[in-house]
Structure 1
Amino acid sequence: MTEKPNLNYIQEISGGDKEFENKLLQIVKNELPNEIETYTNFLKQEKFILAAEIVHKIKHKISILGLTKSYQVAIDYEEDLKKNSIKLKNEFEIILTSMIHFINKV
């Protein structure tokens, strides 16, 4: 996957309001690591429905960071988890890693 997180969507909806952009980015920075940890714990416990709920929350951050293809992966993975399938786990977790690297740099 060559898609990389970006600030395009945040900049688009902010209309150039840097304070708004920073607030939105700060929310992502604050919430994403905790959501990933919660998702990981649910997965380890094979609580797939609960993991799907966290994927649902993370999905919105994927969208905010301009990852359109990854957003579809998250949609599919969320549905798979509801059926006790983790076939998209590796692909989804690569997305999470790229998001964490990105938010730690900006």
Structure 2
Amino acid sequence: MEQPNLSYIQSMSGGDKAFEQKLIGIIKAEFPEEKKVYFDNIEAKNFKLTAENVHKLKHKISILGLEKSYAIAVDYENNLIEHKTAGKAEFENILQNITDFLETL
């Protein structure tokens, strides 16, 4: 599985460490809540809201340099729109991968 990284954040910051830390702080603050809302909605089988949650989480996946994971999230979001859960386990593995990474920062 590909690993999250800060390459994109570093390229956006132009070496501004304060900017990098602010963006990382925002991700660390928002991600756990967004993940919780996702799990609440998937458990409730609210496919429309779950698809919206996945859409929102895709941005964090992208910012953390996870290109293959982003493609998985796109497919999963499209499946949810059709009330299918294909890709759920892979997507949830990505969420755990990000959680583990953020805990190291």
Report TM bin, short chain: over 0.9
1:44 matched to 2:48? The reply is no
1:77 matched to 2:76? The reply is yes
Q: How many residues align?
A: 105
Partner in structure 1 of residue 66 of structure 2? 67
CA RMSD of aligned residues (A): 0.6
Q: TM-score, normalised by structure 2?
A: 0.98
Partner in structure 1 of residue 86 of structure 2? 87
Structure 2: unaligned runs, 5 residues or longer: none
Moved over 6 A (4+): none
Letter in 1 for 2:72: V
Q: Residue 31 of structure 1 aligns to a residue in which SS?
A: helix
Letter in 1 for 2:38: Y
Seq. identity, % = 50
Q: TM-score, normalised by structure 1?
A: 0.97
Partner in structure 2 of residue 5 of structure 1? 4
Aligned-partner Cα distance in 2 for 1:80–1:27: 29
